């Protein structure tokens, strides 16, 4: 533990011209007294750490010293590729590995490139959760992430709609979609891949056995295919709607870009004399369609089913009562 801290201290000083004891203590998560002892230990070991006294003082390396202890461990290298998603790293328990990897890369760079990590961070940040959604990290996510990185089978208890079930899984990959974490896993024996919401796991136990990963498995491709299947599976009803030009323009914001694009491409005939088009929309339910199409206001007219048209007619009467003279 101390050896790793000493190496990190050297890398920190190598990547910056000078650091105060307070700054080092904060980065290393130790006391300033420990920083003083560590600096002395490095000096005794031949690392030229120099302490400047006074209010503006601090620690620095002298003589252009550069350590060669910059080799990345496997976990650090893997975490480095995710360093653009700091929130995801933190939730998976990989923040320390990514920090160590960035330090080692910074130490290996030429002095003129020493600020590369800072300038990149100033120019790109990924905020994964949706607006107005409270991000919540699943309690068991770090355990699942460990098993994914280590190709280790797990026994998991999962809360489905019907009941809580226990399954043995081969965890292949993690997906963060709109602030929700999913596990793509294979069930041993049948080779079937499935998707699980991690916040529905109630227990996860990693076994001692590693599984043989199918190197042909393509996580992005698998997720895209399953996401499209899911989107199609929930669209169990249809509604017929007339749309003004403005309504057609706003339709993707109401029902989703893919659904709107397909519906408008398959529109029945040319625009009518008023410039309106008639489209058939696949929807999850009449209740969901009512909520989605209400956002279009007077730029949309529901033609079918009659029950949904009647709901909008009732809305119109109520609105007229509220706003009419």
| Cα–Cα nearest to 288, from 267, 311, 270, 269 | 311
Task: Say which residue the tokens 């309106």 belong to.
Answer: 276
Residues 218-243 have pLDDT tens digits of: 898 899 888 888 877 778 889 999 99
Given a cut of 60, whether residue 114 has pLDDT beyond it is no
pLDDT of residue 259: 87
pTM exceeds 0.75, yes or no: no
| Cα–Cα nearest to 83, from 102, 69, 110, 57 | 102
pLDDT of residue 81: 47
pLDDT of residue 111: 55
Given a cut of 70, whether residue 303 has pLDDT beyond it is yes
Mean pLDDT of the chain: 81
Task: Say which residue the tokens 């100033």 belong to.
Answer: 122
Q: How many angstroms separate the CA atoms of 144 and 200, rounded?
A: 12
Contact 167, 190 (CB under 8 A): no
β-bridge pairing 152-159 and 201-210: antiparallel
| Cα–Cα nearest to 45, from 100, 72, 7, 101 | 7
- Other Cβ atoms closer than 10 A to 314: 10
Residues 37-88 have pLDDT tens digits of: 888 888 877 778 888 876 667 888 887 666 655 555 555 545 444 555 555 5
Top-confidence range, 48-57, 113-122, 131-140, 200-209: 200-209
Burial 176-191 (b: 16+ CB within 10 A, else e): beebbbbbbbbeeeee
Contact 293, 237 (CB under 8 A): no
- Other Cβ atoms closer than 10 A to 214: 12
Residue 191: which region, alpha, beta or left (left: phi > 0; alpha: psi -120 to 50)? Answer: left
Q: Which two tokens stand for residue 248?
A: 């057609």
| Cα–Cα nearest to 156, from 200, 112, 192, 118 | 200
pLDDT of residue 235: 80
Confidence of residue 267 (pLDDT cuts 50, 70, 90): confident
pLDDT of residue 277: 94
Q: Which helix (H) or strand (E) holds 3?
A: helix 2-15
Report, as an integer, the average pLDDT of 14-33.
85
pLDDT of residue 83: 53
pLDDT of residue 314: 95
Residues 192-206 have pLDDT tens digits of: 899 999 999 999 999
């Amino acid at each position: 533990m101390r050896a790793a801290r000493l190496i990190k201290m050297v890398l920190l000083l190598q990547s910056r011209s000078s650091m105060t004891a307070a700054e080092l203590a904060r980065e290393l998560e130790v006391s300033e007294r420990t920083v003083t002892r560590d600096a002395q230990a490095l000096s005794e070991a031949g690392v030229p750490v120099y302490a400047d006294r006074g209010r503006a003082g601090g620690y620095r390396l002298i003589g252009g010293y550069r350590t060669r202890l910059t080799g990345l461990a496997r976990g650090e290298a893997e975490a480095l590729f995710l360093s653009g998603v700091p929130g995801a790293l933190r939730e998976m328990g990989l923040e320390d590995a990514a920090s160590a990897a960035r330090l080692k890369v910074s130490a290996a760079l030429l002095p003129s490139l020493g600020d590369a990590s800072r300038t990149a961070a100033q120019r790109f940040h990924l905020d994964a959760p949706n607006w107005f959604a409270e991000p919540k990290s699943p309690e068991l996510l770090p355990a699942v992430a460990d098993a994914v990185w280590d190709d280790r089978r797990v026994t998991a208890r999962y809360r489905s709609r019907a009941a809580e079930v226990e399954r043995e899984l081969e965890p292949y990959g993690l997906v963060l979609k709109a602030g929700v974490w999913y596990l793509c896993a294979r069930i041993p024996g049948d080779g079937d891949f499935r998707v699980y919401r991690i916040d529905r796991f109630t227990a996860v136990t990693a076994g001692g056995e590693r599984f043989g990963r199918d190197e042909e498995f393509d996580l992005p491709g698998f997720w895209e295919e399953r996401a499209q299947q899911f989107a199609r599976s929930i669209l169990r009803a249809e509604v017929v709607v007339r749309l003004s030009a403005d309504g057609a323009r706003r339709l993707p914001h109401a029902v989703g870009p893919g659904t709107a694009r397909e519906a408008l491409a398959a529109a029945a005939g040319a625009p009518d004399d008023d410039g309106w088009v008639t489209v058939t929309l696949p929807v999850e339910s009449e209740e969901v369609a009512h909520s989605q199409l209400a956002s279009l206001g007077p730029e949309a007219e529901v033609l079918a089913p009659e029950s949904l048209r009647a709901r909008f007619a009732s809305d119109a009467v109520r609105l007229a009562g509220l706003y009419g003279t």
